[in-house]
Amino acid sequence: MKERFEEREVGPPVEDGNGGGDGRVAVYEVEGAGCLDCAGEVEEAIADLPGVEEDDFNPVAGRLTVIGEADTEAIRRITKSEGWAVRPQGSRSPNGSVAAAAGAPPAGDTPAREEPRPWWRQTRQVLLALSASLLMLGLVFEWTGLADRLGGGELLARILFGASILVGIYAPARSAYASLKRKRITINTLLVVGSAGALWLGLWEEAASLVVIFSLGEVMEVYATDRARRNLKALMDLAPPSALVVRQGGMEETVPVEAVRTGDLIRIKPGTRIPLDGEVVEGGSAVDEAPITGESMPADKGRGDEVFAGTMNLNGVLTVRVTAASSETTLAQIIRTVEEARAHKSSYENFGERFGAVYTPAMFALAALVAAIPPLLFAQPFEPWFYRALVVLVISCTCGLVLSVPTAALAAISNGARRGLIVKGGAYLEAAARVDTVALDKTGTLSTGQPELTDVVPAEGVVSREELLGLAAAVEAGSEHPIAAAVVRRAQKEGLAVPTSERFSALTGRGAVAEVEGERIFVGSPRLAAEEDIPTGELGAVADLESAGKTAIVVWKSRKILGVLGIQDPLREEAAEAVSLLKKRGVKRVVMLTGDNRRTAEALARQAGIDEVHAELLPDDKIRVVRELQERGHRVAMVGDGINDGPALAQADLGIAMGVRGTDVARETGDIVLMDDDLRRLAEALSLGRRATRTIRQNVFFSVSLVAVLVPTALLGLVGLVPAIAINEGSALVVIANGLRLLRPKPERDSLPIKCW
């Protein structure tokens, strides 16, 4: 479904049902959703609306996405039956909401940001407060004997309890009625049946307590999940809604970010947030990039440097040329990734949903059997067994289990986003928790990705140093490879007259060839030279360069060697520390995968502390190595940054892409993206996955264990109606609160990979 959303145009929701259905995507913010059981039902009801092709409701993120002709009023009626508020978000920029994936709407269509409604303006909270007040008043009258002194006896207390039930049951009863019309049994249905049964038994106090405790638990669950939503909304609000555009003549004009086009100049003053991605064309300043990269130290920015929407300009004036529309900024993409994370569920989320789908109907059937079989077959009194059946009913809600798992996943994903770790779904947190082997690409991942030409060694008596460099630069001018750029850059720096080349052809993973001054010139690896039967043994420079950790590039024509170039791509400063951290986190194997020659790769591996090297690999070879590691029983994380890493990233159990210098292919293929390219974040990503998975397991174990205890005690009559609902609702709050602990940063501890469940 995610792919279908991305293919469609995002536009404003339709306000009536008279349109023709243009197949666009509309996005809504839903406030007050806290029950996943009800959420699934609402999703089905909206999908049945005329003109709606497909919809996706994420109650944890509070986001509803609809494909087709979205009739807002019909959607409002459906969500209102659950006591939820819905607001169209489809015409708002992702800088301020969860909207558009394509084309920015007119500025005038952008609504003001709305704050959440206070509790006294939310129907369920008001009804809960009134219902609880009536219950407490009834209990005071009953326990103190005040009702007898006023001459009302039990009648007055029952009136208060009855009023409490009527007020509190209104919203659940409306929701239950809507569910029954759709042939669904939800927790609200169970509440209505349970409270009606208690009244039939004359248990007015227990019926009222049941309604109040249930309503209180539901409100608290909504409040708890709102904490995770607020964390995401805080990320959305980082980028300002307007930008200061510099017009011709230097005039400045404040306009909505949606109206700013790529190529426009904007000015950012000290102490303000940057509204859009761009490149600095004038000025200099320190910029706090923590919201994007997770880096705590400000980065110095000057002419030619990249800046991101949502980051803070600290002390200087910057003039920036916009490079991305408001809907396509790095921040907007991060927000969309976090919101769409629900599409990639972990096995625990799937288990919770499957368990809930089976457990509630099964408990309903069990309650019916408990009420019927003992009286009918064993001549037992009806009322005690009917009471036990009611207790079974009220413990049949699995909201705690079903809601706590996605809430914990969203909390962990939001936590990672604040630290420069973009996790694309709960499934990848689980995969990160199980990783025991990390495979690292060399160029651009372990190394800086900014190679420099350090050596030019011409063949003696064949060409001069300048001729060799000029010919190599002529061939490499047609390539976009970083090594080619290093050769061209060095030739330009030395002021050489580079000849014109024709008929350029890239030899994937091996080199390039082109015609220069009528002759075919090859520039490639020693491996390519060997394949072409070019003798390189007489050039001791190749072995010397490779032993020094440099990449040797051979230049030849007509089977005659012209010389050798030495390229050095130094390791990242943090590479050795990152490898050490991975080993401390329990990673058993750290492997280098590279297309470079073995001697160069092994020299760099020794510097980084890597023991296992696979060198001279083509893209398909990297896939083969990853697959071989998996066949040996390893859970493999592949880390890369280039187009040729994409297949290996997809093959691995977990693909981790470098965000700043990585290619679009790598970022799209990767399951986790490191926004600041700091390799030390790898250990953080694995630790976050382990911490999240451990927390989710705790929640699942606690919820299932509680069910295993409550059901037998209910059948044996050892627990009453009020304690049962209190324990059930309380346990839901406990597991949700436990999941929300993942919102807090926590010092990383050495830990071991988590085994499959």
Domain ranges of the chain: 2-115, 242-325, 452-568
What is the pTM (predicted TM-score) of this model?
A: 0.76
Instruction: Specify the CATH architecture of the domain 2-115.
Output: 2-Layer Sandwich (3.30)
The mean pLDDT of 717-727, rounded to a whole number, is: 90
Longest dimension (CA), the chain: 122
| Residue 255: pLDDT band with limits 50, 70, 90 | very high
Q: What is the pLDDT of residue 623?
A: 92
Q: What is the pLDDT of residue 440?
A: 95
Q: What is the pLDDT of residue 746?
A: 66
Q: Find out whether 409 and 688 touch, Cβ atoms under 8 Å.
A: no
pLDDT in tens, 159-174: 999 999 999 998 889 8
Which one, of 266, 333, 257, lies nearest residue 105 by Cα?
A: 257
- Collapse the DSSP code of 245 into the 3-class scheme (helix H, G, I; strand E, B; otherwise coil) and give the result: strand
| Residue 116: pLDDT band with limits 50, 70, 90 | low
Q: What is the pLDDT of residue 479?
A: 84
Q: What is the pLDDT of residue 530?
A: 83
Q: What is the pLDDT of residue 139?
A: 87
Inform me whether the pLDDT recorded for 666 exceeds 70: no
| Residue 647: pLDDT band with limits 50, 70, 90 | confident
Measured CA to CA in angstroms, residue 228 lies from 62, 97, 366, 430 at distances of 10, 15, 35, 19
Q: Give the tokens for residue 591.
A: 């492997």
Q: Select the more confidently predicted residue: 227 or 512.
A: 512
Q: What is the pLDDT of residue 693?
A: 94
Q: Find out whether 556 and 534 touch, Cβ atoms under 8 Å.
A: yes
Q: What is the pLDDT of residue 28?
A: 86
Inform me whether the pLDDT recorded for 40 exceeds 80: no
Q: What is the pLDDT of residue 232?
A: 67
Q: Find out whether 318 and 267 touch, Cβ atoms under 8 Å.
A: yes
Inform me whether the pLDDT recorded for 341 exceeds 80: no
The mean pLDDT of 69-76, rounded to a whole number, is: 83
| Residue 343: pLDDT band with limits 50, 70, 90 | low
Inform me whether the pLDDT recorded for 444 exceeds 90: no
State the fold for domain 452-568. Calcium-transporting ATPase, cytoplasmic domain N (3.40.1110)
The mean pLDDT of 389-395, rounded to a whole number, is: 89
Contacts of 309 (CB under 8 A, 6+ apart): 95, 238, 239, 274, 275, 276, 277, 324, 326, 329, 330, 331, 332
Inform me whether the pLDDT recorded for 461 exceeds 80: yes
Q: Select the more confidently predicted residue: 682 or 156.
A: 682
Inform me whether the pLDDT recorded for 566 exceeds 50: yes
What is the torsional sign of CA 35, 39, 40, 45?
positive
Q: Find out whether 604 and 598 touch, Cβ atoms under 8 Å.
A: no
Q: What is the pLDDT of residue 755?
A: 59
Measured CA to CA in angstroms, residue 587 lies from 469, 579, 670, 686, 756 at distances of 44, 9, 20, 9, 16
Q: What is the pLDDT of residue 121?
A: 64
- pLDDT over 90 percentage in the chain: 36
The mean pLDDT of 114-132, rounded to a whole number, is: 74
Q: What is the pLDDT of residue 514?
A: 92
pLDDT averaged over the chain? Answer: 82
Q: What is the pLDDT of residue 522?
A: 93
| Residue 150: pLDDT band with limits 50, 70, 90 | low
Q: Select the more confidently predicted residue: 400 or 522.
A: 522
Q: What is the pLDDT of residue 432?
A: 95
Inform me whether the pLDDT recorded for 37 exceeds 80: no
**Residues assigned a catalytic role:** 441
Q: What is the pLDDT of residue 302?
A: 92
Least confident of 172-176, 318-322, 718-722: 172-176
| Residue 2: pLDDT band with limits 50, 70, 90 | very low
Contacts of 112 (CB under 8 A, 6+ apart): none
| Residue 130: pLDDT band with limits 50, 70, 90 | very high
CATH entry 3.30.300.10 includes domain 242-325: no
Q: Rounded to the nearest 5°, which phi and psi values hold at 158?
A: -65, -35
The mean pLDDT of 58-70, rounded to a whole number, is: 78
